[in-house]
Amino acid sequence: MNEYVEIVIRSVCVLAAFLVLPLVVGQTEHKVMAHMQGRLGPMEAGRFHGWAQLIADGVKFAQKEDVVPLAADKRVFRVAPALGIVSYLLALAVIPFGPDFFGANVPGGLVWLLAVSGIGTLGTLMAGWSSGNKYSLLGGMRTAAQLVSYELPLILVCASFAIAAGSLSMVGIAQAWNPWWLIWQLPGAIVFLVAATAELQRPPFDMPVADSELVMGPYTEYTGLRFALFLLAEYAGIVVMSFLLAALWLGAWAGPFPHSLGWLWMLIKGGIFAFVIIWIRVAWPRLREDQLQRVAWLGLVPIALLQLAITAVGVVVTSQ
Amino acid sequence: MSKFLTGLAKGMATTARTMVTHAPTQQYPHVQPDLPDRSRGVIALLEENCTSCMLCARECPDWCIYIDSHKETVPPGPEGGRARQHNMLDRFAIDFSLCMYCGICIEVCPFDALFWSPEFEYADGDIRNLLHEKEKLGEWMRTVPPPEPIDPGAATGSDAVAPGEAAG
């Protein structure tokens, strides 16, 4: 009986974090991007500095008509947004916020995380394919190309972290962390950040949705709540990737009083990466499709392989 | 490659600097804007000064001023004088949906009947409501600020010199 209560409480906590954190990141993006561009951003909704802007947006999306194009592959079209959002929910469940503060401690947590977050991108591909729209199809194909090329460096550097820790469990990796990782795993962390941004199709890697040339690509035909789900999935993706990097590279709850304040350190560390992902969106221009592939195959993959070698040598040397 | 990386770093630095500097945005409906001197908001009419000479209406590049008037005869004052006529202004209207705020009407008015006012809050949902009659134009006279002092070092043209001095 007690076990079931614990499962329910943990699930509710994950769900609450999943509903709150992406909105916080979204609101931060509104405000940070505005100030970086010399604007104020939302100021009206909720009176105090527009804190309720995303809630107002949500209400607006809910009121809109849910249009399914005649030429669309209707069932796939309807399922696609859910796929993205659910996959990130499942991913968030295994990210630890404290030594005992996590949704689930899966032995192969890292593998699970990479697998389900890949499915999220698949939702975008399904949306692009099923919309019955050339722009969406182009966007979907670009998503697929991006998934193929950036999943590889992402998995390679995650493997590096796993080798360094000697564990595939997220909690295990965080427990094995020590401050030397900051230097030892630095190239891996940079590759992870770049590859994660690309995986989320965030600028400067937003070729698939490029609104100025593909009019939002796979999302062109979506309206109302389904479109909102895609947007929410993007921010949930930022949350998952930022906190994943914080858990892998910065030791999750590592800091003073890890048992009582661990969640705070984790929130701060993840928040920093989320901020960086927002920052590079504002600062850098979008890459062209061929440049995007070049960055992945000629830049990230060699660095990731090098990081893997460095990690392997380090583990062998220190274990003797 | 190094140029590429410095470019990326510069982008980050510029955005970071902008983020920590105060945004120039003025929260308009909550805070009244700080308008510069001689702001061209709307054209106000001082009806007493208008002689219906029509100069403004004729100079207006887009013909947005409408004037109607009639003549009234004033009986002679002292015995044996002659009756005089003067113009009575019936209608003076400016269509602000046409007006391009060039200010020629104000420049050209010989009797100082037209003035710039900084008042700008007269937007309307219907374009036809932007045709304002002389009553409304007269109300805006209250918002006309006193004339600005001449800027230090302003050019003194021949107009600025008194007639007697010019001769000498």
SS3 B78: coil
Per-residue model confidence (pLDDT) at position A133? 85
Q: Is B33 on the interface with A (CB under 8 A)?
A: no
Residues with Cβ within 8 Å of B7's Cβ and at least 6 positions away in sequence, in order, are none
Q: A107 preceded by cis ω (within 30°)?
A: no
pLDDT at residue number B117: 92
Predicted TM-score (pTM) above 0.80: no
User: Is residue B168 pLDDT above 50, yes or no?
Assistant: no
Of B12, B16, B23, the CB nearest to A38: B23
pLDDT bucket at B108, cuts 50 / 70 / 90: very high
pLDDT in tens, chain A (320 residues): 688 888 888 888 888 888 888 999 999 999 999 999 988 888 888 888 888 888 898 899 889 888 888 888 888 888 888 888 888 888 888 888 877 777 777 888 888 888 888 888 888 888 888 888 888 888 888 888 888 888 889 999 999 988 888 888 888 888 888 888 888 888 889 999 999 898 888 888 888 887 778 878 788 888 888 888 888 888 988 999 999 999 888 887 877 877 777 788 888 988 999 999 999 888 888 888 888 888 889 889 999 999 999 888 988 888 77
Q: Which helix (H) or strand (E) element contains residue A22?
A: helix A2-36
Cβ separation of B11 and A284 shorter than 8 Å?
A: yes
Q: How many CB atoms lie within 10 A of CB A167?
A: 19
User: Which residue in A32, A40, A279 is closest to B25 by CB distance?
Assistant: A40
**Alpha-carbon distance B16 to nearest alpha carbon in chain A (angstroms):** 6
Contact A246/B at CB under 8 A: no
The number of beta carbons lying within 10 Å of the beta carbon of residue B135 is 11
State whether residue B15 sits within 8 Å of chain A by CB: yes
Contact B25 A282 (CB under 8 A): no
Rounded to the nearest angstrom, the minimum Cα separation between A217 and chain B is 26
Statement: residue B112 has pLDDT above 80: yes
Q: Can you tell me the ipTM of this complex? A: 0.71
